[in-house]
Each structure stands twice: as structure tokens, then as C-alpha cells.
Amino acid sequence: MYIRLSILVVLLVIFGNVDSKHKHHQRENEPEFIKNLTNNQRSSFFGIVKNPGISFQQKEDKLVKWAESNNLTEKYAEFSKNMILHKEEVSKNISAVIDRLAAAKVEVDKVNADLSLTKIQRNEKIDELKKTYPHEIPTIFYIGGLFENPKKNETKDGGSGGKGRKQKH
Ligand SMILES: *[C@@H]1O[C@H](CO)[C@@H](O)[C@H](O)[C@H]1NC(C)=O
Ligand SMILES: *[C@@H]1O[C@H](CO)[C@@H](O)[C@H](O)[C@H]1NC(C)=O
Ligand SMILES: *[C@@H]1O[C@H](CO)[C@@H](O)[C@H](O)[C@H]1NC(C)=O
Ligand SMILES: *[C@@H]1O[C@H](CO)[C@@H](O)[C@H](O)[C@H]1NC(C)=O
């Protein structure tokens, strides 16, 4: 896949999950389509994308019209298609992580139950498990954090950022 992970930022903006405040220092990671826009096009584009008060269908209709009036129909269609593919890939990946979570939890529990280990050894075992379960192990610790640090539960942005995922082995 030639779509970079950084596209996620724009994707999340488009799908309404992310605030505009992170925008400016992400310019260099932007997809080519966005980078290529003039300042005027950029501001009208994001004016539509970030409008929280219209439905996603209305948003898409407006973006199609916007693309037409900017002579960018083909480029926008390609960009939009890539976004959808990316979103589908992310969704599949999330499902795959969920499917493996229970198995990963069993392994984490085994490590934690082994009282013969030192803290250092336990951390090493957990790191070892991360090779098999690279997303599942951090997810388990993230979930643990929801209960260990309930205050982090009152996140304003839906908790999708990585900030609250301090790991405790
Ligand atoms: C971006 O602009 C370059 C140079 O004009 C062009 O070759 C390229 O096709 C454009 N890419 C997109 C995705 O708009
Ligand atoms: C619109 O796009 C067509 C086909 O790509 C191009 O020939 C034309 O010059 C463009 N017009 C403007 C105003 O950019
Ligand atoms: C989804 O998972 C595959 C396989 O692990 C990986 O190659 C791909 O980069 C992931 N996609 C995204 C958008 O992270
Ligand atoms: C998270 O917050 C909600 C409401 O603020 C509360 O009802 C819920 O019990 C909290 N969950 C955890 C795991 O602390």
C-alpha cells in the first residue's frame, strides 16, 4: 500500500474525529492531493471537511461539487477512493487486533502470574510477547489504564489519541 499512515490524520479530520488544532505541524505529511491545493482551495476544502453540522453524505456531496468547481474532479475521486480504502484497511486491522486480544491476554496473565520473575524479567517477557502481539499488548495495557486511571476516562476527544496509554507492566 502506497498510502502512508500519516494520511490517517486527514482521514480522521474528514471522518470528523479530530480537532483542527493539530493541523499546522502536519503539513509535510499530507497526501499529495492536499499539498497541491492553493491556499484558497485548502481553506474552502477544509471548511467543508471540518463542518461538524452537516451529514457525512452532505459533506461528500459538497466535496464533489467543490472538486468540480476547482477542476479537481478526477484527483478528488482518486483521493477519496484512497481514503475509503485506507479506512477499510484500518477497520480490518482493528478487527484482527480484537480477534487476537483474548489470546494475548492469556499470555500477559501467565507472565504476570509468574512470581519467580523479577520486574526486569517480567518486562522482558512482555517485550517478547509484543513481537507476537505488537498491537494487542499495548491495547491490553491501554484498557488496563482505563480502570487503573479512571480520570483519563474523561477525555474530551474520545480518547483516540495516544496520550493516555502509559504502560504499566
Ligand atoms: C500534484 O501536483 C503535481 C505537480 O503539478 C502533479 O504532477 C500531481 O499529479 C499532483 N498530484 C495530485 C494527487 O494532485
Ligand atoms: C481543467 O481541467 C482540464 C482537463 O484536465 C484542463 O484542460 C483545463 O485547462 C483545466 N481548466 C482550468 C481552469 O484549470
Ligand atoms: C494493516 O495491517 C497490515 C498487516 O499488518 C499492515 O501491513 C498495514 O500497514 C496496516 N494498515 C494500516 C493502515 O495501518
Ligand atoms: C468513565 O466515565 C463515565 C462517565 O464519566 C463513568 O460512568 C464510568 O464509570 C467511567 N468508567 C471507568 C472505567 O472508570
Say if 169 falls within a structural domain: no
3-state SS assignment for residue 83:
helix
113 & 69 share domain: no
108 & 145 share domain: yes
Give percent helix, percent strand, percent coil of the chain, each to the nearest 5.
Answer: 70, 0, 30
Tell me: pLDDT of 98 over 70: yes
Query: Which of 138, 110, 135 minimizes the C-alpha distance to 122?
Result: 110
Mean pLDDT of 101-106: 98
Tell me: pLDDT of 14 over 60: no
Q: Is the CB of 153 under 6 A from ligand 4?
A: yes
Mean pLDDT of the chain: 84
Tell me: pLDDT of 47 over 80: yes
pLDDT digits (tens, 9 = 90+) for 122-145: 999 999 999 999 999 999 999 999
Ligand 3 atom having least distance to the Cα of 8:
13
Report how far residue 161's alpha carbon sits from residue 38's, in angstroms, rounded to the nearest whole number.
Answer: 29
* Model pLDDT, residue 149: 83
Say if 168 falls within a structural domain: no
Say if 48 falls within a structural domain: yes
Domain boundary among 45, 71, 88: 88
Say if 165 falls within a structural domain: no
- Which of 8-22, 60-74, 101-115 has the least mean pLDDT? 8-22
Q: Closest residue (by CA) to atom 4 of ligand 4?
A: 154
Say if 144 falls within a structural domain: yes
Mean pLDDT of 48-69: 97
Report how far residue 33's alpha carbon sits from residue 63's, in angstroms, rounded to the nearest whole number.
Answer: 13
Give residue 22 CA to ligand 1 midpoint distance, Å. Answer: 25
Report how far residue 114's alpha carbon sits from residue 111's, in angstroms, rounded to the nearest whole number.
Answer: 5
Q: Is the CB of 150 under 6 A from ligand 4?
A: yes
* Model pLDDT, residue 161: 43
What pTM does this model have?
Answer: 0.69
36 & 102 share domain: no
Q: Do 24 and 46 contact (CB within 8 A), yes or no?
A: no
Range of the domain at 111: 97-153
- The more confidently predicted of residues 60 and 155 is 60
66 & 129 share domain: no
Say if 2 falls within a structural domain: no
82 & 116 share domain: no
Q: Do 137 and 126 contact (CB within 8 A), yes or no?
A: yes
Tell me: pLDDT of 13 over 50: no
